[in-house]
Structure 1
Amino acid sequence: MDMSLWMKKLEERAQGTFWELLGCKAEAVSPERTVIALVAEKRHLNAMGIVHGGVLASLLDNAMGLAVMSAYPDKRTVTTNLNVHFVASLGPGPLRTTAKVLHETRTTLTVEASVEDASGKLGTIGTGSFRLLD
């Protein structure tokens, strides 16, 4: 499958979804290295002025899911498990989430990802399991 056409269709399907609401942008997409970016704004912060944990978990899930989808562009996939470790707080500004597929079986993929700020400060790490549906 032509990946540029696949990405264009995926971007069209993402319009009006949670992906768009968050403000994610795909920078690189492959099973070996998927990168999504987000500029954390006030709406992404909690009352303490740091990026909300739900936003960070969503970034991990989105990046890992996109890595899985790029490995199997003709299949539907769902997250079956998500492990998140908040290792440092992150403030407003550019964030980058990088994911890669670590292991796969016939029906399940295991993926890892991390979220860093513009200075390279590691804020969040995670792993996820994803099931291929069809």
Structure 2
Amino acid sequence: MGRPRGFDEQAVTRAAVALFAGRAYDGLSVDDLVGGLGLHRNSLYKTFGSKRGLYLTALRWYLEHDLEPLLAATTGGADGRDTLLAGGALDLLLLAAVEQAPFDAEVAALIGGALTRLDAALGPDRATELLGLRLRARVSSSTTKE
């Protein structure tokens, strides 16, 4: 019988969402993840299988628990523009769409579904506008840090 897990998998997944939303998949090494999540390398591999396994787990968690509730709140006439722009709510979606979806069919399917739901909630023009505004805000914030 194995030892019980010494960490909360959901808490680690939520923390991974924040890391991937901040620096993207390619911007994080396994050492960055281990240090940022407070895990042992062995625990990461045993629980998630690989860096990609952790990424997919975090991406799915983000889509279900972070993005979907925001989209549901915007459906039915509510203006979710400010909510979706605030606090980086779209950051992981953007980074995954640009960095991983072109090369990873599984990520592309997840992101494609999320973009379809974003279009349905806001309308395609407004969704495109929000994604563009958030992308510009990320670029602006990174240039002011230098």
Both structures adopt the same fold (TM-score exceeding 0.5): no
- Is the radius of gyration larger for structure 1 or structure 2? 2
Give TM-score, length-normalised by structure 1.
0.31
Scaled by the length of structure 2, the TM-score of the pair is: 0.29
